[in-house]
Amino acid sequence: MPSVTVKRNVLLRSVVNDKLREELGQELQNAADEIEQRLQQLDFQTRAYITDLQRNNLQQAMAVRKQVETEKKRQQDVRDALLEQKAAVGELKDGEEIARGTLESLVELNEGDNIAEALGGIEIVTQDDIIIAIRQRAEDAEAEPSVSEIIEQAKIQIEPA
């Protein structure tokens, strides 16, 4: 019987406890600190440039200053969102399961297999980095953004355009 091996997504979940809250809080704080460093670097790098530019072309200097302020505001908003997420981590209840990220696994498909079941929701649940369950996810389960995805999205948003 012919078969094919394909990749599927696997949701990585973790059970909330003090250690996890501390770890997630630190990850989010590190991401916020990285943005803060970028803001300081942006401010330092553009200050001298704008001062020089003002001597030669005041209108262009004003336009550059406006662009810099817009970029700083955008990055501050991302930083603030990360800090809000950090505060939300503190509100998580012990024993609650949260999405941590997505992994990939291989699955072999054969004729007659239910493709929705085979490719659908598999999840790995960990507690203190130990796998405590591997289970089929309910078909109607909504995909919530993981902390890793939130941090990655923030990093994408802070990259210079």
Look at 2-6, 67-71, 80-84, 153-157 and tell me which has the smallest mean pLDDT. Answer: 153-157
Gyration radius of the chain over CA positions: 23
Residues in the chain: 161
- Please check the confidence at residue 161 and state whether its pLDDT lies above 50: no
| Mean pLDDT across 5-11 | 92
pLDDT top residue among 65 and 139:
65
- How far apart, in whole angstroms, are the C-alpha atoms of residue 59 and residue 63? 6
Which among 81, 80, 86, 84 has a CA at the least distance from the CA of 23?
86
- Helix, strand, coil percent values for the chain (each to nearest 5): 55, 25, 20
Quote the distance between the C-alpha of residue 8 and its chain's center.
20
Which among 11, 7, 27 has a CA at the least distance from the CA of 101?
11
User: What pLDDT, on the 0 to 100 scale, is given for residue 111?
Assistant: 92
- Please check the confidence at residue 11 and state whether its pLDDT lies above 70: yes
Task: Order the strands of the 130-136 sheet from edge to edge.
Answer: 97-110, 3-15, 122-127, 130-136
How confident is the model over 119-155, as pLDDT tens digits? 887 999 999 999 999 998 765 455 566 666 677 666 6
Number of H helices, E strands in the chain: 4, 4
- Please check the confidence at residue 159 and state whether its pLDDT lies above 80: no
- Please check the confidence at residue 1 and state whether its pLDDT lies above 60: yes
- How far apart, in whole angstroms, are the C-alpha atoms of residue 60 and residue 30? 35
User: Which of 25-29, 42-46, 113-117, 139-143 is predicted most confidently?
Assistant: 25-29
* Three-state SS at 103: strand
Residue type, position 31, single letter: A
The per-residue pLDDT of the chain, averaged, comes to: 86
